[in-house]
Chains A and B, each alone.
Chain A
Amino acid sequence: MFETGVRQFRLALGMTQGRRLDPGNVVRLVDDVLATLAEFGEPGKDAGELIDGPMADPTARLEVANRSLRRTARRLAAQSPFYARRFTSANANPAKIDVAGLRAIPVTVKADLMERPGDFRCTDVPAYLATRTTGTTGRPAEVWLSRYEMELWPALGALASVLRGELGPGDVMQVNLSSRGAVAMHLSATSCRLAGAGCRPLGIVPPEAALDSLAQGGATILLTVPSYLAELVAAARRAGMGADDFRLRRLVVGGEVLSASLARAATRTFGVPHVDDPYSMTEVVPVSGRTCSQAHQHHDLNLGLTELVDLDTGEPAAPGALGTLVITPYFPYRDCTPVFRYDTRDVARCLPDGPLRCELAGIPATSQILGKADQLLRLPGGEVVTPRQLIEAIESLPAEPWPARYRATICDGTGRDGRIRLTLPTSAIAGYGEAEAGRHFAAAGLDVDLEIVGNDQAASLRRTRSDMHETTFASQHALVGA
């Protein structure tokens, strides 16, 4: 107990002073949490503040953000060639940067990262592991990470997960993410190891194989992407499997829009109370977000600053307006390839003014992620249709066409200018009819012209992460040894 106090003090001191943290100290704190849980069954009161920080006071929150921004900017000005130039050209003094004056510094976009990846690398730390974004929105970007980051992040992740009861001894986590996602796989496996849990990294294998593993392997946590979850639900239904066939207690998805209809179906099929839909992105790891029971996206305050920037003006989004998430991971949590004001192009809506009433009310929030900015449909009247609106409407069709395969464009020069042309595969409206489907979309507030194409074109309408299938010998029909 004395040692635990010392470790907590060391961690707090490191965070306050902005020095590199000792990952070993955090690992030992995870052990302390496990010992606490073994003895008491639950952490003591105020465990939530240990994870989320005492951030309920807006003044304290602002002070922490300003201090962390300056610390991060000072380091970037000294160690990152890209940001040294950027701060100079913006005439920004890193030692005086604050939240209010942050808009003077242009956002960093993915193109910057792809064109000059070497310039983002800090010169004072050796690179250890490279990871690439999935590339679902175009070319992938490469991000180098240091050994320190690869030790610190899983330790911090395990600490938070164990304290929240999300991961612990006896759990087995099955990871159905792309096996090329080295960092996600590494973080999952290491977090599990630190938490005393098992980890089964499977990749995007045929859903039947994943289901077998889920059912027979006794997995208690499934980590995947919504599109693959959709495939799993469909495969489970085909196989006649239900909640009694699984031991799952948590379903965690990320990286894509999760529709309410798919979430409901997944909870019924796998027998879990709800689907966790946290937010994270390779370029801004370890900053993340959590969804609450009221479907808000609550953004991490300790590891980085999240701004919601108006899509048109670049100013902070007004209540009710759409904005893009601009994220700055703080030093010492981001080390090797840090970004400053990174425009994720993930769109969310600014919540109305007034206090939140959800269980995470102490943490600032936006709406759920509504999709990528580049995929918004701007109608002539000024109305904006988000990918989430379309996905929610499509996936709630009676045919349950998960994951939603569609192409949406604005009609132009066809006599029906300004309407949405929505292309769907035949299977999406099976047994429903085009007219009925049109009424379904109208009821969802979407005035669409439907275009129905053959099912063979479905995959080309909208790429999803589940399309990155990985084959196994078991899934090959004709492998002959030579």
Chain B
Amino acid sequence: MSVPIFPIPMWEQSLTLFGVITTGTIVICAGALAYFRRVRMDRPPVGTFNARDVVILLIFIGILPFVYGWLPDTLVTCLLAVTFASALYIGYRPLLGSVGIWLGIGLLFGFNIWSSHHLMGTIPGWQLWYTEQSIMVGLSAIAVCNLYLQGGMKLRHVAWLSLGLAGYDVLFASYYPLTGELIARYITHPLTPVVGMRFGEVDYAVGLGDLLVYSLFFVAAYKAYGARAAKIAAAVIVVMGGFATAFIPFLFNFSNANLDILIPAQSLFGPVAFLTYLWMKRHYGRERTMAEYLASQDDTAAAPRVEQAPAPQPASI
């Protein structure tokens, strides 16, 4: 006879996970939208996000797990440090200045690395680690979301990216469980790319990639069609990204032997996000460009704009 392997009922875990995902998603989506409305990132003189960039992103995302799986943990941590530092620097230098941003990155990284080695023995220790971890990951997601969207990424691109990631998730979470193995191997290391919390004996977390796609979909819908579309996008995120993702284990009671449950969230969210985009396109018409969005903002002129220092010298022609 099988022995229950979970300390609390599955429905309670699903509910807690739903709470964690929803909280993380709401905070990051709201943060990304606030940033999008108030801060103008510097952009290169020429270039806008296009369909080929989506393909390049998907290829990059497809290759990355193999690279992470192949590299020793120390090098993975270094890669993650470079990734997070870049995202935080690009995103928050306009707000904090050069000294402030490096100080902030140093504090976030320093505490994260220290806590990864010294706070893991107790539940409050885990919770403190998760809190700090979530702040860093959330800030990075907000920055990258705005980097893409303010660089010209459209809802169309986000929808295709979501659809591509749905296939990716099915492949790498279900048939070729590389993602699960990576998480199981790396979860206690510094700079783990998840937002989460530990309650009792169980970790509840959502990955940076998922949060990034949710925030992209939400803010891109707002940019493309306005607040009403953003609300529809938010509903899709909460239902498919939060509720369905959290309650799939409860509904189907699937698990693996390591007590870790990896739910391929994008495989649930991606197709619905894509269909939602198609509906919006049919219903609302052409997406607004960034220029049209800015022109539509009555308070654009009044909003404080933070200018970034000049980018590196481009090529002359």
Contact = CB atoms under 8 A, between A and B. Distances in A.
Interface of A: 1-5, 8-9, 11-12, 15, 26, 29, 32-33, 35-36, 38-47, 49-55, 156, 159-160, 163, 302
26 contacts: A1-B152, A2-B53, A2-B56, A4-B48, A8-B46, A8-B315, A29-B46, A32-B48, A36-B47, A39-B289, A39-B291, A40-B48, A40-B291, A41-B291, A42-B291, A44-B43, A44-B47, A45-B311, A46-B311, A47-B45, A49-B45, A49-B314, A50-B316, A51-B317, A156-B317, A159-B317
Contact of A54 (B44, B48, B313): B313
B317 A160 contact: yes
A30 to B, nearest CB: 10
Contacts of B295: 41
A33 to B, nearest CB: 5
Given A4-B47, A53-B317, 10 more contacts: A2-B56, A3-B50, A3-B52, A32-B46, A32-B48, A35-B152, A44-B46, A44-B47, A50-B46, A54-B313
Contact of A1 (B50, B290, B311): B50
A39 B43 CA distance: 12
B4 interface: no
Nearest to A42: B291
B316 A302 contact: yes
Interface centre among A2, A39, A47 (most CB of B within 10 A): A39
B151 interface: yes
A3 B57 CA distance: 12
Interface residues of B, number: 26
Contacts of A163: 45-46
Interface string B36-61: 00000011111111101100100000
B310 interface: yes
Contacts of B311: 45-46
Nearest to A55: B316
Interface string B290-317: 1100110000000000000011011111
Contact of B46 (A9, A38, A47, A156): A47
A32 B44 CA distance: 12
A42 to B, nearest CB: 8
B154 to A, nearest CB: 8
A68 B314 CA distance: 19
Contact of A49 (B42, B152, B313): B313
A50 B316 CA distance: 5
B316 A1 contact: no
Nearest to A53: B316
Nearest to B152: A39
A132 B129 CA distance: 76
A35 B315 CA distance: 19
A9 B316 contact: no
Contact of A4 (B46, B289, B291): B46
Contacts of B52: 2-3
Interface centre among B43, B48, B290 (most CB of A within 10 A): B48
Interface in B31-87: 42-50, 52-53, 56
B118 to A, nearest CB: 40
A4 B44 contact: yes
Interface string B129-171: 0000000000000000000000110000000000000000000
Contacts of A38: 48, 289
A11 B310 CA distance: 21
A12 B316 contact: yes
Nearest to B307: A45
B216 to A, nearest CB: 15
Contacts of A53: 316-317
B297 to A, nearest CB: 13
A40 B290 CA distance: 5
Contact of A12 (B43, B44, B315): B315
B44 A44 contact: yes
Nearest to A21: B317
Contacts of A36: 45-48, 152
Contacts of A41: 289-291, 294-295
B45 A1 contact: no
Given A1-B50, A1-B151, A43 B45 contact: yes
B48 A35 contact: yes
A53 B317 CA distance: 7
A55 B171 CA distance: 51
B290 A46 contact: no
Given A40-B290, A40-B291, A5 B317 contact: no
A50 B47 contact: no
A32 B310 contact: no
Contacts of B44: 1, 4-5, 44, 46
A3 B52 CA distance: 8
B46 A54 contact: no
B195 to A, nearest CB: 27
Contacts of B310: 45-46
A160 B294 CA distance: 25
B36 to A, nearest CB: 14
Contact of B152 (A8, A9, A40, A46): A40
Nearest to A11: B315
A47 B56 CA distance: 25
Contacts of B48: 1, 4, 32, 35-36, 38-40
Nearest to A54: B313
B301 to A, nearest CB: 15
Nearest first, the 7 closest Cβ-Cβ pairs linking A and B are: A53-B316, A12-B315, A41-B291, A4-B47, A47-B45, A44-B43, A1-B47
B234 to A, nearest CB: 25
B29 to A, nearest CB: 23
Contacts of B151: 1
Contacts of A39: 48, 152, 289-291
Contacts of A302: 316-317
Given A38-B289, A54-B313, A302-B317, A44 B50 contact: no
Contacts of B43: 40, 44-45
Given A36-B46, A40-B289, A46 B314 contact: yes
B47 A32 contact: yes
A117 to B, nearest CB: 30
